[in-house]
Amino acid sequence: MPPVSKRPLSRRTILRGSGVAMSLPVLDAMLPSVSASTVSREPNIRRIGYYYVPMGYHPDAWTPKGSGGPLAKLTPSLQPLESVKEQLLVMTGFDLQNAYPGSHATSNSAFLSAARAKLTESTDYYLGTTVDQIAALKIGQDSPMASLELAMDSVNTVGQCDNGYACVYQNNLSWSSPTTPLPAESHPRLVFEMLFGDGGTPAERLAQLHRRASLLDSITSEMKRLTQQLGANDRNRVDDYLTSIREVERRIKNAEDSAQDNPLPDLDRPVGVPAAYADHARLMFELQILAFRGEVTRISTFQLAREASTRTYPEIGVPDPHHPTTHHGNNPDKLAKVAKINRFHVSLFAEFLEKLAKIPEGDGTMLDHSLFLYGSGMGDPDAHDHANLPILVAGGKADGLRGGRHIQYDNPTPLSNLHLTLLNHAGVPLETFADSTGQLKDLFEPVTL
């Protein structure tokens, strides 16, 4: 065997400064090599994420024609995904039997658990471990954060929220056990400090940040020392990563400065976040990208709005509250507004995917080495049913996901079958999950190594 050319940089390399602990993206210098022709292979799928939108959809504006064939033309609600449609599966025919009787609370709680929520208004709630936390136990333990839970809305509601169900079912997407919901963070600043702060309480970390101009300023000397060990490609990669961090930090500060001048806070929106929903959502997506690039975490969940949300979307011509609008009664005007909201949420997810598709990783891009599931636990919001759910799967090219298709199941199929399939392709071998009946066939093709 040829001698090793040089000792690789540790994948655990951390840049430390005053109150800062920053991981680095995967660099060429971290890959062991014995010769120029030997390449260290990364796992095919490096991360998995789950994205929830509430209150179902308008099927006519969402569902493509035909099934199994190429996505030749995307429907109006899905059109923003055009640039990444070759790495997209549109899937219809899934249901959540354990979400019945139909409610907003169980739509949210069953989406990642496929479990039946205990009907209670008190603290004796009981659900099931969610799929993201099963993944976190297997592939998240080597990361600084086993998983990242995010949301767009402040959680101000307690007690009973929906038809006798405790608000905890509606507030929390992730559960690490049947009795342990994981609260999600909606404030970009707190997420930023959580990803890059070096311990201490949130108040202590914020105080440290206020004493310096920028989180990145305190690692300048460490950065100079490190770059002397890196080649040109790695220096460019690190520069790009740090530039992205600085830009996100700048946008968070601008949002906080603007909030100080706003005398009318939105009760659903934390103080100090961007006033516009899209700007807030983009920041939360950017924070996930930073977390993935720095391998701070490999598992993420993001609730883009809470069930029964009365948020309005005037920026897209929908000044009406979301929840009442979804009780459409087949009114064409209300259905058109539901479709607009669907498209708006999809457009933000599409921007996230497009950015990942431009970031090199291994023998492809970050999108190639990721699996993302996007959808709702409710089908027809007017009926509060849990059938024919709107589901998208994106990424997965590195593990052979056959994208660019619409797959429609003629018979109702448990959503847990999809969860089981994605887990196995993300490196979490599992025979069953919740009420699953087996893995789905023909989503992936064998990958030749």
Closest to 299 measured CA to CA, from 440, 209, 182: 182
CATH topology of domain 41-186+273-425: Alkaline Phosphatase, subunit A (3.40.720)
Question: Tokens for 40?
Answer: 């260290």
Residue 160: count of CB within 10 angstroms of its CB: 14
Residues 15-63: tens digit of each pLDDT: 666 566 777 777 777 765 433 333 445 679 999 999 999 999 999 999 9
* CA pair distance 246, 423, nearest whole angstrom: 34
* CA pair distance 187, 368, nearest whole angstrom: 29
* CA pair distance 22, 127, nearest whole angstrom: 35
* CA pair distance 228, 318, nearest whole angstrom: 53
Radius of gyration of the chain (CA): 22
Q: For CA atoms 384, 409, 97, 389, give the dihedral sign.
A: negative
Task: Tell me the β-bridge partners of 375.
Answer: 52, 391
pLDDT on residue 312 = 96
pLDDT on residue 162 = 76
Q: Are 214 and 19 in contact (CB under 8 A)?
A: no
pLDDT on residue 226 = 77
Ordered by start, the domain boundaries in the chain are 41-186+273-425
pLDDT on residue 32 = 59
Alpha helices by DSSP H, listed for 141-187, are 168-171
pLDDT on residue 308 = 92
* CA pair distance 388, 379, nearest whole angstrom: 6
Residues of the chain with pLDDT under 70: 1-12, 14-20, 31-42, 155-160, 198-215, 218, 221, 259-272, 448-449
Q: Are 109 and 101 in contact (CB under 8 A)?
A: no
3-state helix, strand, coil in the chain (%, to 5): 35, 15, 45
